[in-house]
Structure formats: C-alpha cells, structure tokens
Structure 1
C-alpha cells in the first residue's frame, strides 16, 4: 500500500472499523458499493468469484453492489464466514455541512452477520429452523440456551455434560458459541457474558420481569447460557433488537433421547449427504407452509415421551383423516398464508419492509377466517380447541394495516408507494401536487419541442442532474444560443443536456412534494411497525398455532396417501408391528416399479432381544431401521407405515447401523463402531430401543465374534432394552439356548437354479447359511474368484466340522453377568520390551535397556 494512501482519513477509519470487526470480513460502505480490502478482499474474491483489484499501489480490494449485497452475503455465510456491515451513518451533504467541504462521511458497524443471527428471507432456508446455541455451565451443571431470531423461538435446556452433543444434534444449530472449548463440539469459543447472575439480570431486563419464577425457575447453568446468548445477540445486532419470545424450559425427559450417531444412521431430518430429500423428514413432509415444515422437523428431531401429549397430536391427525374435503379446505387456506413468524422477526429486528406488514395483515386475517371455519366443525379434538383461541385477537391490527397499506406493497420502502390512497389526506395532497408537477413537466416538454423545433427533445431525470432537457448532439446548437433560455449542463457522446428556469421551478415543486410525501410514508411505516411489534408475542403464538395445524393436516395427508395407521401407545416396554414398512425405501421401490415387502416385529418382556441372521442385501438393515422409524414417528405424533402398531414408549433410541472412518479425529471404522457401542451399553435402559447391525465385523474373526458375543449378553442381562441385533456370526445363535429373552430370526433367501433369490422376509429361526458367495456372484465378482472362494469355503467348513468350529468351547462360557474373570498374568519382560521406543534412545540409553532386559530374562529363567 502506498504510504500516502495508508495515511488518508478514509483508510484510518477503515482500519479502526476492521479492528472492531475482528475476524469477520468487513463490508465497508462507499456510495453504492460495499468494499473489502487487504486479506478480506482476497478471501471474498475467491469465495464469490469476483474480480480482485488494487487501491493505490499495494492494497487488494474488491466490492459488491449494495442492492445485491444479500446474495453475496448468503454465499459468504454458507462458506462459513462472518461479515461485519459498516454503513454510512450520515450523508455526504450532512458531513460537509457539519465538518466542512472535505469532511469524511462517518461510518459505523451496524451489524455482525453470522450463521446463527440471520433474519433475511434470502439468507435463510425457509423450511428449516435457524438455531443459535450457547453452551453455559455453573459448577458441575451444564445447559444450552438456543434461539432462532428469525421467528423468536427461545429455549433453555438443562443437561449433563455428556448430553450436550446429543442436544446439539437435535437442534442442528447454524452456530454454537461458548465461553470455553469443548471436546468434540465445533463452535466459537471465548465469548463473554456466560455468568448466571449476569444472565438473570439480562433476562429480567429483556422481558420486564421482577423475578424468573414465571419461567419455571431456571437453574444457574441455564442462566449462564442465557447470559452468553443475550450478550452475543447484543454484540452482533448492535442497535437492532433481535426478536425473542419468552424462553421455554425444555425438560430432557420430555422427549426421546437420540444421539448424533443415531440421527445420522436413521437419516431423520437430513441424509448423510446433508440433503432433506431422501431423509425421513423429506418423505413424511406434506406441509403447505414453511412454518409447518420447520415444526415438523422439530417434532421428528424430538419425539415426545408424554403419552397424553402424543395422543393429543394423534387425535388431531385422526380428525383430519376422517373428512378429506375438510382437510383439503384447511390446507388450501394455509397454503395461501404468508410466513408470519419470519415476517415478524424482520420487523422486530428493524429489517422489515412494507411487504412484511402486508404479510401480517394477510396472515392474521387468514388465521381469523380459519378459526371461524374450524369453530363451526363438530367433534373437534382437544388440541384443536386449545389452538383456536390463539388464531384470533388481532382484529384491530388487521383493520389498521388493511386501511393503511396498498394491496401489494413493494419490498423496498425507499421509493414509497405503499400507503393506500385515502388513508392520509395530507399524503394524498402531496402526491397530487407531485403528480400535477410531473404533468406540468410533460406539458413543458411539448412546449420546448415546438419552440426549438427539435422533435427528439426529451425531459429526463437522474440522480446526479435531477430533471434536465436532453437533445441529440446534432441539435445542440439551437439550445446553446445565448438567447435560447437554456443553460448547458453536460455534454455526452451523442447527446447534450440543459436546464431552464421554468424546468427548475417545476422540478423543485415536484421534488419538494415528493420528498414530503416520502417522509410522511416513512412515518406511517414506523408507526405501523411499532403497532405490529407491540403485539409480537400474540402474533408469534398465532404463527405457532397455524404451524401445528399444518403439521397435523400434512401428516393426515401422508397417512391417507400411504395407507398408514394410528399407533396404539403403551406404557409397558413392548413393540408390536404388523406389516411394517420403511417409508423412504418403500417410496424409492415404488418409483422403480417394485413392491416393498412388509414385515412384522414383536418385542416384549419375554422376547425383547431378536438375533437376526441372513445374507447381505437381504434387508436386515432396512428392517432394523424401519422398526426404529416407526417408533420415532409414533412418538412424534404421526401415523405409521404399518398394518397395525402398538408402541411402548421409548425413552432413548440407539442405532448402530453402518459406520465409516472418522479420519479427522483419527478413528477407524472399527473404533467408531466401538465408541458408539460403548455409548449404547452405558446409556440404554429397559425402556430404550436399540438396533445393532454387524457388531464386531471391523476386526479379526475371533475378536469380532468375542465382542459381539459379549455385547449380546450385556444387552440381554444388563441393559434389558428392546433390541434388534443383526449379525453374520452364526455362532451367536448358540446363545438362544442360554438367554431366555433372546429369539432367533432371519431374513429369508433361496437359491434357485444356481441363482440367489432374496425374499426380504423376516422369519423365525436362524438362517441356514450366510449366502456370502452367492451375494458376491450377484455383485459381479469374476467367476474364477467365485469358484476359488467356494473351494476355500469347503475346506474351512470341513475343518470347522472336525474341530468344533470357531465357537468350540463357547458353550462352557458363563453368561456375561457372571464372567468375572481374573486379570491376565503380567509378563515383566514383555512389558519392558513393549515400553521401549528404539528411535528415541541414545546409544547409552539403548545399552542400559539391553542390560535391564537381560536381567529380567535371567530372573524369569531362575
């Protein structure tokens, strides 16, 4: 950078703001562009694929137009960057008036745009909640405070340190913050405000509360998390106010616990590639509003454990299934309504537009009409009766917005035109004066054409010259004459521009009237926004009620479409499914013209552990997953893909189906499998549902079988959970004679004329063999390799028959609970040898180690 350029007032101002922005990219407003400099420019140019230029001799720079800034912001945020917005806080004219002709325009950072603090429609995914999560602790207590400022949702969740990862997996936050780093959790650490007393003060001040008893008495860790969250919002939003409803305390026991590995395995709200399409949510979703999709995602992410609450949801879904005409009428009304929650969020944050006010007008009016329609229906379920009062109560605001706004207001308020004619007589007068002035200018244009004889003469307007006369260059001489009455303003390549006293007079009248009219419209906008924000709480409640109705009607639509049934709920640890199907796989097969094979499952007190054998590609993993998804759907309040289902409430759902290397954390597939299995054994209870697939396959056959054997025993004797355990270790079937609550099942397959036929049916009993070579042939393994595999298998099986096989002697093992074996004897010589790192030894140390080993050897020999 040139030294002179570095010392300019503008660059000094830039450096001050950049220091304030920290690691965020600084969008520095210069006229109609946001400019970026130095390393920020290099990063942004590469991310946005825009030109990188230079200022002065050395300063890299790039810029984006202000009018298109949101699209560029979206790309930067998706790429993981934060952006500080430095706006001009005064106009150039104000700067000159206050500090002289060469005064620098004042700028300030008005907002820090981060992934968890977005409100703009173009920056958000309409059907997904955009959580910001703050992790706080106080002593041994831990908690999460989470909010979505685009809709005002605010939650406090007290949890153990070991449960934080699972809760974050439920929320799927766009951004995580905290005071100190936590192993295994990606976030932004080192933030201030995570103090319980500070959090208590901020909550009281924010919501005007004398005490926090009305919130249920949050604990110290919850208060600390809330303090950090509110401080972060204040730092990022600056003068704006983030929309937050009263925080709701979420009890961990109120919803089914599902860890991150299980969510990934079952692909509940996203596939493992991160897409909604192909996930359970993508397959179940028949909502017609964005708010409904967001709520459905939250329901599936946190199925309930309260039977009464689940039954209320199911009653509402059932009510919508009974009358197709009623259901379609309600869905049609909902489909026409705007996204109330997010429109309100933008208005509260000071980023709203006239169109957002119109969204409240139309949405609240539509909600009242829907309430009137539903109130006339007979035999309404209890949940609907509870929701109906929340849909109304906004008549005064709807009436005011209806009288004040035009039918379709513009998105940009800067040019006016959104206040309806007749609402304000003074505004109508100013508009009339401006319109009369424009007509006078049009008449003046005609007179000038006649007076000059230049038919191509036009009166135009731009931001620099205002109103002016423009003629082609070849006719300019007529207007340049001293007695023409025109004053030369600007010469262009093909045209010349002029002014005149009459035009100046009319233009002044137009601009003055237009300016006053625009100011008056802005005052109306501020007043209407204040009126809407004053009712933020009740409006948010209405938005939530509409979303709940949309979810229920959408689930009813999905149930009718797929022939799903209402599940029966039970407090006992049972799980009975007749004709169960996997919703995602069934849809995929249907699109391919194939039929999904439904299967039954019956887990109870005396038959709670199923050991399932059978060939690869036979459908074991699909069966395991569909059982888990049916339980999840039932407790989320949905009908389920089955002919009949009775679900004993599940407190924790675990799935270890498939694993992959976690190279970033230095873990192999087998290590990932063992970590996940250890978590299951540590946390599963008799009320849990566990699905395990191919435990132990990532290591040697003997080690794998030993681990699988021990895990089966532990699930049976210790956890006592409802468990589906799929395996290729046929030796495990021997456990059926020793574990009373274990039963054998298999996915059926047959070989027909040398070909393997996979029946995808789950039947009682163990599989007769694994059909691995037949599957390999199906997969296209070369015939020579298949033939060789058959010969090797024949030899192995002959050896197994002669020696008793890999499981010889296992029948004599005690059960898992009684296997209190003595620790293995130690070998001092082997231990000493294993402790030596040859590459780290000096010659002297190596000689000493050799003597030490010789001495240990002599002692053992003696």
Structure 2
C-alpha cells in the first residue's frame, strides 16, 4: 500500500528556496539538469512541452517533476520569460564531489520579462524597458525606466494616470514595478491595458549603494521611484550593475507631445492593419547600420523636439552629410562593422561577455578613426566641432584586446585557446609542455612499434584511465613478457602503461588543467580592466548612434527627394508645397503618388476638407502630420518646399475602431479621442479630425461636428484640419473667421467616378457615396435602388427646406412685430441670452447671470 513519505533533505532545501520566490519558476540545479517540482513542474511541462514525471511514484503524494538540460536552459528560459513569467536560477555553489552532506545551493539570478537580455539577439534594434511607478504626495506620479541591456536610466514626473499611461505607450517595456501599497485598481489597469507583468517590490532606499547613479537627481519624488527600480534590479540580478548610466531626468513637455491615439493613427512605429513595423514611418525611415542607431531612431521618432535651436543643429548635420556623398558613404561603410557597443558594455559589466564579444568590441573601436577622418574631411567645424572632440576610439582597450585575446576565440570562456600566445609567460610554458608532451607520446608510439614489431600498436587517452598503450589480442603473443604493466582488458585488446608514460601523462594533464584555469583567470582580468572604461564606451556608443541616425536621415532624404524645411517660432504660417505621404509614396511608387500643397496663414486656423471616400482626405491629413514630425526630428521632409511653425502637440481622430479592452464602441472611442484635443490642445497644436460625428445619428453628428469646430475656433485657435461629409458645415467659412473650404477633387466620367487625389479650393459638390459603393463591387440592382431612394430623400429635403424657409420668414415677421413692444431691459436680456457662450460658463456663473437678469426684469416691471 502506498505510504506518505517524509521530504528528503534535498526537497527540504528546494521548498525552503522556493518559498523565497513564490512568483517565479525555480530552476533547481541537479547535476547536468535544472529540475522543477510540484506546481512549477505542472505549469512548465505544459508551457515548454516537456515530459512531466514524478519522484516516489508509490507514495500517496508523489512529487511531480520535470527538467531541462543545463546546457540548453537558455532556450527554455526565453520561452517562459517571453510568456510573461519569471525564472529564478538556483545553482550549486560548491563541488558535489568535495561537499559534505547537502550541496549548498543559492538563487544567483531572477530573470524577468523586464530584465531579460536575449543572448541570441545581440544586434536588436529594440529596447526592453523595465518601468517603476510610485504615486506622489501631490496625487501625481513619478515614473522611472531602465534597459538593463544598454544601461539607460531615465526618470520623469507626471501629473495623472492618463499621463502615465500615455508615457508608457511610448516605451517598449515588458514589466512594471510598483510598491506594495499601490492600489490594486491601478495594477489591474496596467495589466489590462498593456497585457504585461506587474511586480511588487519593497522600496529599500539604499542611498549609499545608489548614490553615484542618483547624483544628478535632486527631486525627492524622482529619487524615490529610482530607489524602487534599482532595488528591484539589485534583488533580481544579484550581480554588479556598474554599467548602469547616471539617471537622467526629463520633462514630457520638452518634446512634441502625441498621445496614444495620435501615435497609433499616424502609424509611427507599427501599421494599423498588421501591427507590424512594415508599413510604418519607422520602417520607411530606418536606414541605420547599427543596432544602437536603430534604437535611437525610434526614440527620436517617439519624441520629436520642440526646441528650435536643437532642431536646427540636427538639420545642419543632416544637410552636411547630404552635401558630402563620398564622406557619408565612408561613414556608412564603417558603421556596418560597428557592433552593439551599448550591449557589449552591459555584457562586460554583467560578466556575460565571451572572447568573440571582445573581438567585436575591438572591431567596432577600430572604425572610429575612419568616422573621425570622414567628418574632418567634410570641413565644417562649426557643425561638427563638438562631435569630433568626443569621438575617441579608446586605444587602451583596443591594445588590451589585441594583445590578450586570440583572433578566433571559442564561444565558451572555459575551453582554453582564448588567450593569445605571448600574452602570459606561465601560460606559454604550460602550452609548451602540452605541445612537447604530445609530441613525445607520438614519438613513443613510433619507437614501441619498431621495438615490438607490432604495427597496430597505438597510444590513446580517455578521462578514466588516462594515457595507455593498446595492443590487440591477436598480437599479444609478439609482446615481450614483462615489458609493460597491464592496465585494462577489453574484449579484443589489452591496455598497458609504463612508468615513463605515467610521468608524461601527469605533466601533460597538469599543464592542460592549469592552462585552462589560468586562461580563465587572465580573461576575467582583461574583462575587469575593460569594465573600467564603461563610461567612456557608453558615451562613445551614444555619439556613434547619433551619427548613424543622422546619416540615415541624409540617406533617406537623398533617396526620396526630401527637402530642408524652414521652421519658426515667430510665424504660425503652415505652408507645404507639393507634399507627399512618405510611407504611401514608398509603397506605391513616386510616379503613382499625387502630391498636394497646403497653405494656412497666420490667421487661417481651420481647413474644412470635403470630398468622396477613397479620394485621399485621410492620407493628406496624415501626410501633413508626418511632415511636421519629420521636421521636428531634424530630418528633411517629403515636399518641394515647407515652411512650418514649431508645434507643441499633435492630436488626431482618424479612422474607426472599437476599443475591445475597455469595452468602448467606435463612437465612444471617437469622442474620447476628440475630447483629448479639446481638453489639452493649445494655439500651437496641430489637430487632425476626420469625419467627426459619423458614428451617431445624422443630426446628432452634425450638431457635434459644428459645435466642436466653433469651440476650436473660439477657445483653442490651433491649426486644425477637419475633413467631413457634412456639406452643411462648409457654410461655416462665412461665419468663422480663419476657416477655409478645400476639397479633394473627383470627376464623373461616363458614369464612372475618377479620383484626382488633388486638393482644390472650395467645398466638394457632392459626396459620390453611390459611386464609391459601385467601385467596391456592390450589385448594380442595389446601386439603382439606392439612387431612387437618394432622389426621394433629396426631394423631401428640398421640400422641407422650402417649408422651413417660409416658416422662418413668418417667425422673422413675428419677431419684428414683437420686438417693437419690448422694453429696453427686456431687449438687453434677450441680446445677452443670444450672445451667451454656455460652454464657457461655470454653473455658478450661470446662476449669477440668471439672477442679474431676473432683477433687471423686476426693475422694469416696477
């Protein structure tokens, strides 16, 4: 009968360690395997598709288990981490052969989604951020983030939850760290909105340990969130983090603000249709040659500048590269041999670097003189002086690697042959002993064959018996008696040794063992010496990444005929001549794309755009925004000429989509996106509204659209592109100063609709909705029926319009009759009501106004 068993000492050790890491899969090292037990085993077996087995199968409570080979563990860990799980790696801390009792084990690292460094993705153009968030005493938030793979460490303060979510939307992060006291509601919102891991960490506030990293951060809220983030990194990584850069504080209003909706609608980094990079502005722009350049390009795209001086500095460098083709080609070619310096520095600091990584580091540093020479050849010191001064190849590191590391080192650092000959005298002696010893053995084999006359005699080696002389049983009779000492009997041969062979074996094996050990020690010493140059290497990496992005801008600008835009803070004129949508143009080809111009003077704030579906209204609006973004990144723009103001924010409401995560309908999403602009836009903002109000009843939608336009005109006054199918709104051109009608042209030819894709002055003559339906392939009978219904509706509308005009005329006459009998106070009240802007009044102001009118009318009666 099965019996309940008592836990073995090993299982007691496992359970004690697991208790410390309840939210992680515990990879418990047993010999050549990492084992998982109990619930960890059940879950891991399913996720990793490995066999679930058990210990003590005959017990009432058998211990479920599964395991993975230690040499293949990296792939299994990657699968778990990419699935949003944590892995605690528990290693044997002493040699089992030498230990007495239970082998001591400890967790040496907790690998989490936000701290994972993929060893197989050393050239990745994507960051992997870990974010930390705390709520401040003023009901605001502080947010810090770090990429452990590059050492980046940033912090900012944000005013509310929406600002936090919007900032997180710009970061490629996989995990957020919160304090234990943070609300469950906030945690659930993060998990629901971003589908990421939320971890909880006690804030240790180790001021002494993190003093150097926080030296430039005086703000207490910022320091608090950095302590939280660094506490988590320290507790999980359990190793030196000297590669982390000093924390940098930033303000979100230092950059062109774009909320979640704007980034999505403009397809900055991902296509709306596929959610992939291809088809986005990032895809179109990315001609970077290095991984760190690719990451910086994405950062610049997510956060364009608003400081005009900084924009113009970037522009000047792009123009300099554009005007010097051959120097730019030299730079581009050199950059192709530059590896990911940021991540190489991190690997050095974390102790993950191998010999080949150091060769990559040396190769990268050897390209720096070429970059310096090419930039100096351009001959524009005013543009490049600061860059040249900071570009230094760090020859000390190059020389150290050149002298110490062999040209083709192995992947593993404990296999030997990683240190170059001549670097260390003792290592050379060991190698000489190994080389001479093996030559001596080869000579001994030849001599013994001659002396014994046994041509098949051979000298071999294995780890159990060492070196041996092997003679087949067929030749044993020819062996002189007593010549060798018998060592091992095989089925068809005998193995022997001699005192001389044993002596040489001891010499060779000692040299091999000590050689490998010494090589590892020498390699670690080289690695530690290079670690001392981490700050210089990181500064160099930033500069090289910047050069890469600037040459990328020049490359794209030349290839796609971009021009240098003129930007100004003083003039709010928006003028683009023959502008193009850079992504659409690249996809369909320059010859097929129809460019368009836009001119909005200082006083022209609203452009009302009409025209049929598929005519290009949305494309035109997006291209204006993308031109602005490119310009404020410092890049040239797809246009013949562009004069632009510097915008502080871009708001969009383009396209129709449900928000399934929050349960919002298409129309609700439309209203939420619209409200973002109405709440936060300024007179320096760019607003793109496409078909506002179409998600509800016609008159509701039309009323909302007009009220929104009036609100923008009256209170915001920012540059607004407003496309609509409500032709009634085109009458606002006469009513709202600074509003202008334009339309995207389309003509009817032989009963077919032909899109001109060209922006023209004035409103469109009609919507051409039935023509678009016909183009979509709808049945002719359906189109004919729709035409009959449309004709009827138009006649009814015309009849109602005539009736309304007659009724209005009667009302006007009645008003004139009644107006003559009104007292001055009554007329004053009526005029006040007619001119009142309700949306600008608070409830208290409204009550005071009504009270004053009431008193005025009472006075009149007296």
1:404 & 1:359 partners in 2: Cα distance? 14
- Indicate yes or no: 2:773 matched with 1:776: yes
Select 1:785's aligned residue among 771, 777, 782. 782
- Indicate yes or no: 2:547 matched with 1:540: no
Q: Secondary structure at 2:543's aligned position in 1?
A: helix
Partners of 2:613 and 2:772 within 8 A in 1 = yes
Cα distance, 1:765–1:17 mapped onto 2, change above 3 Å:
same
Moved more, 124-133 or 775-784: 124-133
**Residue 110 of structure 1: CA displacement?**
0.8
Partners of 2:96 and 2:103 within 8 A in 1 = yes
Q: Spell out, residue by residue over 1:34-88, the C-alpha distance to the aligned partner (whole angstroms, 9 max, x if none).
A: 2223332333333333333434424443333322322332222222222111122
Cα distance, 1:369–1:560 mapped onto 2, change above 3 Å:
closer
Match of 2:328 in 1: 327
Partners of 2:327 and 2:375 within 8 A in 1 = no
CA RMSD in angstroms comes to 3.2
Cα distance, 1:143–1:478 mapped onto 2, change above 3 Å:
farther
Q: Secondary structure at 1:375's aligned position in 2?
A: helix
**Residue 448 of structure 1: CA displacement?**
6.8
Q: Spell out, residue by residue over 1:696-751, the C-alpha distance to the aligned partner (whole angstroms, 9 max, x if none).
A: 22222222222222222222222211111112222221222211121111111122
Select 2:201's aligned residue among 192, 199, 207. 192
Partners of 1:800 and 1:806 within 8 A in 2 = no
Q: Secondary structure at 2:618's aligned position in 1?
A: helix
- Indicate yes or no: 2:583 matched with 1:584: yes
Moved more, 415-424 or 364-373: 364-373
Q: Secondary structure at 2:417's aligned position in 1?
A: coil
Moved more, 701-710 or 307-316: 701-710
| 1:48-447 equivalences in 2 (<5 Å) | 48-57=48-57, 58-95=62-99, 99=100, 103-122=101-120, 126-140=124-138, 141-161=140-160, 162-179=162-179, 180-181=182-183, 182=186, 184-186=189-191, 188-189=197-198, 191-194=200-203, 198=205, 202-204=209-211, 206-207=212-213, 212=215, 215=216, 217-241=217-241, 243-272=243-272, 273-382=274-383, 384-392=384-392, 394-444=394-444
1:53 & 1:137 partners in 2: Cα distance? 46
Cα distance, 1:819–1:93 mapped onto 2, change above 3 Å:
closer
| Structure 1: gaps (5+ residues) | 824-862
Q: Spell out, residue by residue over 1:574-630, the C-alpha distance to the aligned partner (whole angstroms, 9 max, x if none).
A: 32111111111111102xx96111111223332121111111111111111111111
Partners of 2:327 and 2:374 within 8 A in 1 = no
Partners of 2:368 and 2:392 within 8 A in 1 = yes
Matched length: 801
Compare CA radii of gyration and give the structure with the larger one: 2
1:806 & 1:67 partners in 2: Cα distance? 86
Partners of 1:307 and 1:569 within 8 A in 2 = yes
Partners of 1:489 and 1:499 within 8 A in 2 = no
**Residue 296 of structure 1: CA displacement?**
0.6
2:616 & 2:331 partners in 1: Cα distance? 39
| 1:494-533 equivalences in 2 (<5 Å) | 504-533=502-531
TM-score normalised to structure 1 length: 0.86
1:757 & 1:379 partners in 2: Cα distance? 51
Cα distance, 1:469–1:752 mapped onto 2, change above 3 Å:
farther
- Indicate yes or no: 2:34 matched with 1:29: no
Q: Spell out, residue by residue over 1:436-486, the C-alpha distance to the aligned partner (whole angstroms, 9 max, x if none).
A: 223334445556777594839562445x6665677899999999x998634
1:500 & 1:819 partners in 2: Cα distance? 105
| Structure 2: gaps (5+ residues) | 813-832, 844-862
Match of 1:837 in 2: none
Partners of 1:614 and 1:620 within 8 A in 2 = yes
**Residue 158 of structure 1: CA displacement?**
1.9
Match of 1:619 in 2: 616
TM-score normalised to structure 2 length: 0.86
**Residue 536 of structure 1: CA displacement?**
1.0
Cα distance, 1:399–1:730 mapped onto 2, change above 3 Å:
same
2:478 & 2:722 partners in 1: Cα distance? 96
Select 1:797's aligned residue among 782, 790, 794. 794
Partners of 2:337 and 2:363 within 8 A in 1 = no
1:739 & 1:109 partners in 2: Cα distance? 69
- Indicate yes or no: 2:678 matched with 1:681: yes
Partners of 2:28 and 2:89 within 8 A in 1 = yes
1:203 & 1:656 partners in 2: Cα distance? 44
Partners of 2:174 and 2:197 within 8 A in 1 = no
Cα distance, 1:43–1:814 mapped onto 2, change above 3 Å:
farther
Moved more, 121-130 or 612-621: 121-130
Q: Secondary structure at 1:757's aligned position in 2?
A: strand
